[in-house]
Amino acid sequence: MIPAAKYSQHRSGWMILVLIVLIGLNLRPFLVAPGPILNTIMPELGMTVYSASLLTLLPMLLMGVGAFVSPGLQAAWGTRKGMLIALAILLLGTLLRFWVQDGVTFIFTAVLCGVGVAFVQSAMPGLIKSSFSRQVAPITGVYSACLMVGGALGAYSIPHLMDAGLSWRQSLGLLAVPVFIAMLVGWRYLTGVPANRPNMSQVQTLLHHPRTWSLMTAFGLVNGGYSTLVAWLAPYYQSLGWERSDSATLIVVMSVCQAISAVGLPVLARKQTDRRLWLMLTLVMQSLGFCGLALWPAGTAMLWVGMCGAGLGGSFSLIIVTALDHSKAPEEAGTLAALMQGGGFIIAGLAPWVIALLNDLTGSFVSGWLLHLGLVAITACLYWRFNPRYYDQVMQPVAVSNR
């Protein structure tokens, strides 16, 4: 017979895992779901491709800024209070989509959602580590997969809800229901998790390392591919004559391949300290995918989108592991990974706007896919520099002026 105290602890652990899954599933639908119906929304709200790109650009920028700001808020508020406030903001931003009447309001809802998600993403690693100290890697893999699957479910559900007779406002607003469920579970089971204030001297030191900026750039260029696909993949295929529900299926395929690769590739690469060949494999997949989207988009769309998704998902996970490998000190490694994601998300947020500009200049998204081929080549040069034999050398302390 299991003692009552141990049973309660075991049950609480399972409920925290359920909470992590629920939260992960809710962090991307607001971002991904509008994509398949943008061609319906834009004329009604008077939005251009530039203003529509802000639906992705601004939340991604906030996710980047949040990596720098959220740790201080978490230390001041605590994880439980901060998480619940952030989920409430995400809930509010999603609910307001029921009443959107113009492009500015719609963009404002995306900003609100981005603020909430920025804090949650910053706090989630600490929650995982404190709740599952011996299973950090697999639980992080589950969380990462939930991010991608949640986006897929959001993109897939909206066109079908509209086909069932709901308006696009009602369809997007209903995404608040799972957010509310996550809030309820969080209110019941989320406990306080100690959060230290960020070590600003360590942050300042790392920002003087060229390697920190190389990691930021690589992370940003790769995730720029994701933000572009989220924003413009469905409109691209709709411009080729696809129905919105069929174009939404492409986002589902991309997200599922992302999730599988994000979990699977780090497992395959776990016994090797030099992960550059695995990182290059993810770039090869992205190259094939973007090349296919540009040159042969119609016949084998699922293949090209799946290749992009697998390459992006595997690269996302492996570059985080690579950043953590740079330092044997857990605190420094965590700070480096946080800085990489912060600066990287800011870079990634700019990609949809740049692609919108290219589309406006050339009349096609093909130029955007070709641009991403070039960015993949730049990323390959950066990835090849991440040789573990020289991590100690490149991470040597540098003199920081206090003037």
**CA count, 13 A, side-chain hemisphere, 149:** 16
What confidence score (pLDDT) does residue 11 get? 54
Place of tokens 């494999």: 281
The residue extents of the domains of the chain are 10-198, 200-394
How many DSSP H helices and E strands does the chain contain?
17, 0
What confidence score (pLDDT) does residue 143 get? 87
Q: Cβ(322)–Cβ(275) under 8 Å?
A: yes
What confidence score (pLDDT) does residue 192 get? 58
Q: Give the whole-angstrom CA distance, residue 9 versus residue 153.
A: 32
Show the DSSP H helices in 296-329 as ranges: 301-325
b/e map of 367-384 (b: 16 or more CB within 10 Å)? ebbbbbbebbeebbebbe
Give CATH superfamily name and number for 200-394: MFS general substrate transporter like domains (1.20.1250.20)
Q: Give the whole-angstrom CA distance, residue 73 versus residue 67.
A: 11
Place of tokens 């650009």: 57
What confidence score (pLDDT) does residue 1 get? 46
Within 10 angstroms of residue 227's Cβ, the number of other Cβ atoms is 25
Q: Cβ(353)–Cβ(253) under 8 Å?
A: no
The answer regarding whether domain 10-198 maps to CATH 1.20.1250.20 reads yes
What confidence score (pLDDT) does residue 400 get? 55
Low pLDDT (below 50) residues in the chain: 1-2, 4-5, 7-8, 403
Sign of the C-alpha dihedral, residues 59, 64, 68, 71? positive
What confidence score (pLDDT) does residue 8 get? 47
CB neighbour class for 352 (10 Å; exposed up to 12, middle 13-18, buried from 19): buried
Place of tokens 């949040």: 66
pTM given for the model: 0.85
**What are the tens digits of pLDDT across the range 335-376?**
888 888 889 999 999 999 999 999 999 999 999 999 999 999
Domains 10-198 and 200-394 share a fold: yes
What confidence score (pLDDT) does residue 5 get? 47
What confidence score (pLDDT) does residue 378 get? 97
Q: Cβ(376)–Cβ(283) under 8 Å?
A: yes
